[in-house]
Amino acid sequence: MTYRAPVKDMLFCMKELAGLDDVAKIPGFEEAGMETAQAVLEECAKFNEGVVAPLNVEGDRAPSTFQDGQVITTAGFKEAFKQFGEGGWQGLQHPVEFGGQGLPKTIGAACIEMINSANLSFALCPLLTDGAIEALLTAGTPEQQATYLPKMISGEWTGTMNLTEPQAGSDLALVRTRAEPQADGSYKIFGTKIFITYGEHDMAKNIVHLVLARVAGAPEGVKGISLFIVPKFMVNADGSLGSRNDAHCVSIEHKLGIKASPTAVLQFGDHGGAVGTLIGQENRGLEYMFIMMNAARYAVGVQGIGVAERAYQKAVQYARDRVQSRPVDGSLPGSAPIIHHPDVKRMLMTMRAYNEGCRALAIVAAAAFDAAHHHPDAEVRKQNQAFYEFMVPLVKGYSTEMSLEVTNLGVQVHGGMGFIEETGAAQYYRDAKILTIYEGTTAIQANDLVGRKTARDGGQTAKAIAKQIEATEAALAKSDSVAARAMRKRLSAAREAFVQVVDFIAANTRANPNAAFAGSVPYLMLGGNLMAGWQMARALLVAEEQLAKGSGDDAFLQAKVATARFYADHILSKVPATRDAIVEGADSVTALALEAF
């Protein structure tokens, strides 16, 4: 089974839901309309379907290896990454002045989904490089930008994030890696970092490590952390590579999934100290690292959509081919492909609806990012920034949790064959698990949603979004179709439940924090469900309108209406029950005495 990029659905989301035509009116994006989007997506699909996707199974069976400080990636990865860089894919969303293409995130998001559908392990290298590029664009000096960005954007060099240490997982206050100032303005870095994705590999000439460390005398906790550039090879004044830095890989991890992606343990300063240069100001490292983190969190959400789409496609193909049992309605005289069975259809529709809802949510959020960063009107930028920031933990948390459900269903559709590695269904399930963990677990995304995104402004941003949803309900009320009525009923109930939960969270985050945070992950899941369902409602309205006019692909539009209605009936309908668990069930989360566990 080969991967086929869902280009038609991506373009529909961009045009009809994300308003790409409006994005293309923003200064600098004038050439990034639908014609450009289609050309880019078709070319991206060709590359990922033909070059990257065929390496996915091999990467799982013959993952990266470590020997004598060197990491050798899966056969074919190095050549594919060279093509990736030469094709301009690393620079797609990055500034033209550093060699990028300067395209909006609205288009870039679809390309990120494709590469992750094709090969999650391979896609992690450019994902981390994107994050490092964002940090340098924001906080790097002109000299640092000129030295590193062109080579990273071209794909010649790659980037990493170095946060985690053996004793400091998500609690970065515990970071011990130290930085000692030198007379020439540089720093010597000493310490160990773990879980460093593509911390060592053979696909690029240099690796640009961005490392969190403490300068001597810095304040305790997170306020005393600084961020440093520590390249694998030093860079000479003329841009050529110099001596090997004292930053070495000492091992790579053996993992449940994403096996081809080398997860390195890096040792800095075993031989006199790794040379680092400060990014921005001392003690502001966490602030800069969160630029990388937010870019990466959004991208990990899109990873969830990517792997879920691949699992769905594989499950559909299997369900068409696998013959088992006579259909319950007697429509065929003998055994038939399992896609005829109602429960298999339910599973496939669940997978499809989740994928389409989360894809729409991610692309709409990307358009908000583009407006927030590039729109000439300050008020428009402010509104879109608030919307995008609210969406990031939902895109990351909800899309990755849904990818676990979708890839799990993918195994189930295959039955016993899904449990056998040869079919490939299990790889997607194993690969998906990490997505709910790295770049901040689902609980950390939920804490962000509760504390920074809801309680901080008393739920005002959340309620402003709810008002927009109400407007969609009003539009649905004008349609007398069965699908629109069903969607309006479910969307209205979900929105009301959401607002009640927002009030509960805003009232309790300080007054009764255990109650608020006991429901934090359910709140995130409720919010993600509603926002994806809202986009499906908008899609339903567009599809019905185009069907009435006869102005589109009827089969595609009819499928969109059917999928949206399924989302309403089977997924969006869960929201009120989640509201009950949050608002009325907080006490039971903390009722059991600790010694009773």
Q: Residues 499-528: what's their mean pLDDT? A: 97
Residue with tokens 């439940």: 497
Cα separation of 103 and 522, whole Å? 35
Strand partners for 252: 264
Cα separation of 308 and 163, whole Å? 28
Phi and psi dihedrals of 239, rounded to 5?
90, -10
Cα separation of 504 and 583, whole Å? 7
Closest CA to 93 of 76, 111, 77: 111
What pLDDT does 228 receive?
98
Closest CA to 440 of 496, 396, 479, 489: 396
Task: Identify whether 492 is part of a domain.
Answer: yes
| Cβ–Cβ < 8 Å for 572, 494 | yes
| Beta-strand runs (E) in 446-518 | none
- Residue 359 CB contacts under 8 Å (≥ 6 apart), including other chains: 6, 9, 10, 13, 113, 305, 309
What pLDDT does 161 receive?
95
Q: Residues 328-335: what's their mean pLDDT? A: 93
- Last residue of a domain, which of 237, 260, 283? 283
Task: Identify whether 344 is part of a domain.
Answer: no
| Cβ–Cβ < 8 Å for 509, 451 | yes
CA–centroid distance for 365 within its chain: 12
What pLDDT does 551 receive?
85
Task: Identify whether 416 is part of a domain.
Answer: no
Task: Identify whether 338 is part of a domain.
Answer: no
Q: Is 156 helix (H, G, I), strand (E, B) or coil?
A: coil
Cα separation of 53 and 62, whole Å? 15
Cα separation of 279 and 141, whole Å? 7
| Cβ–Cβ < 8 Å for 110, 363 | yes
Read off the amino acid at residue 539: A
Orientation angle between helical segments 520-549 and 442-450, nearest 10 degrees: 90
**Domain CATH for 210:** 2.40.110.20
The full 3-state SS of 545-573, as one line of letters, equals: HHHHHCCCCHHHHHHHHHHHHHHHHHHHH
Going from the C-alpha of 487 to that of each of 350, 523, 563, the distances in angstroms are: 16, 21, 11
Are 136 and 188 part of one and the same domain? Answer: no
Per residue in 12-23, pLDDT (tens digit) is 999 999 999 999
Q: Encode 109-137: b = buried (16+ Cβ within 10 Å), e = exposed.
A: bbbbbbbbbbbbbbbbbbbbbbbbbbbbb
Are 142 and 167 part of one and the same domain? Answer: no
Task: Identify whether 369 is part of a domain.
Answer: no
- Residue 184 CB contacts under 8 Å (≥ 6 apart), including other chains: none
Are 14 and 118 part of one and the same domain? Answer: yes
Cα separation of 305 and 444, whole Å? 20
Closest CA to 230 of 196, 207, 251: 207
Q: Residues 373-383: what's their mean pLDDT? A: 98
Are 464 and 579 part of one and the same domain? Answer: yes
Q: Residues 102-126: what's their mean pLDDT? A: 98
The percentage of residues in the chain with a pLDDT greater than 70, rounded to a whole number, is: 100
Residue 596 has pLDDT above 80, yes or no: yes
Are 171 and 236 part of one and the same domain? Answer: yes
Strand partners for 403: none
What pLDDT does 470 receive?
98
Are 515 and 558 part of one and the same domain? Answer: yes
Are 149 and 96 part of one and the same domain? Answer: yes
pLDDT band at 544 (very low <50, low <70, confident <90, very high): very high
Q: Residues 411-431: what's their mean pLDDT? A: 97
Per residue in 427-458, pLDDT (tens digit) is 999 999 999 999 999 999 999 999 999 999 99
Residue 417 has pLDDT above 70, yes or no: yes
Q: Residues 471-493: what's their mean pLDDT? A: 98
What letter does residue 506 receive in the DSSP assignment? H
Residue 164 has pLDDT above 70, yes or no: yes
Joined tokens for residue 202: 């053979």
Task: Identify whether 82 is part of a domain.
Answer: yes
Q: Residues 41-57: what's their mean pLDDT? A: 98
Which residues are part of the catalytic machinery? Answer: 439
Are 194 and 264 part of one and the same domain? Answer: yes
Are 107 and 21 part of one and the same domain? Answer: yes
Beta strand pairing call for 247-252 and 241-244: unpaired
Are 112 and 225 part of one and the same domain? Answer: no
Q: Is 180 helix (H, G, I), strand (E, B) or coil?
A: strand
Overall number of domains in the chain:
3
What pLDDT does 293 receive?
87
What letter does residue 218 receive in the DSSP assignment? P
Phi and psi dihedrals of 265, rounded to 5?
-100, 120
Q: Residues 78-93: what's their mean pLDDT? A: 98
Task: Identify whether 340 is part of a domain.
Answer: no
Q: Which domain holds residue 119?
A: 7-64+73-153
Sign of CA dihedral 543, 545, 551, 555: positive
- Last residue of a domain, which of 153, 177, 193? 153
Are 174 and 227 part of one and the same domain? Answer: yes
What pLDDT does 597 receive?
97
Residue 274 has pLDDT above 80, yes or no: yes
Are 15 and 143 part of one and the same domain? Answer: yes
What pLDDT does 1 receive?
62
Cα separation of 184 and 181, whole Å? 8
Q: Is 452 helix (H, G, I), strand (E, B) or coil?
A: helix
pTM here is: 0.98
Closest CA to 232 of 272, 263, 201, 194: 201
Residue 170 has pLDDT above 90, yes or no: no
Per residue in 198-237, pLDDT (tens digit) is 999 999 999 999 999 999 999 999 999 999 999 999 999 9
Q: What are the residue ranges of helices labelled H in 92-242?
A: 105-118, 120-139, 142-153
Task: Identify whether 44 is part of a domain.
Answer: yes
Q: Residues 311-325: what's their mean pLDDT? A: 97
- Last residue of a domain, which of 266, 283, 300? 283
Closest CA to 87 of 116, 119, 36, 45: 45
Q: Encode 528-563: b = buried (16+ Cβ within 10 Å), e = exposed.
A: bbbbbbbbbbbbbbbbbebbeeeebeeeebeebbbb
What pLDDT does 292 receive?
83
Averaged pLDDT score across all residues of the chain: 97
Determine which helix (DSSP H) or strand (DSSP E) holds 232, and give its type and residue range: none
Q: Residues 297-304: what's their mean pLDDT? A: 98
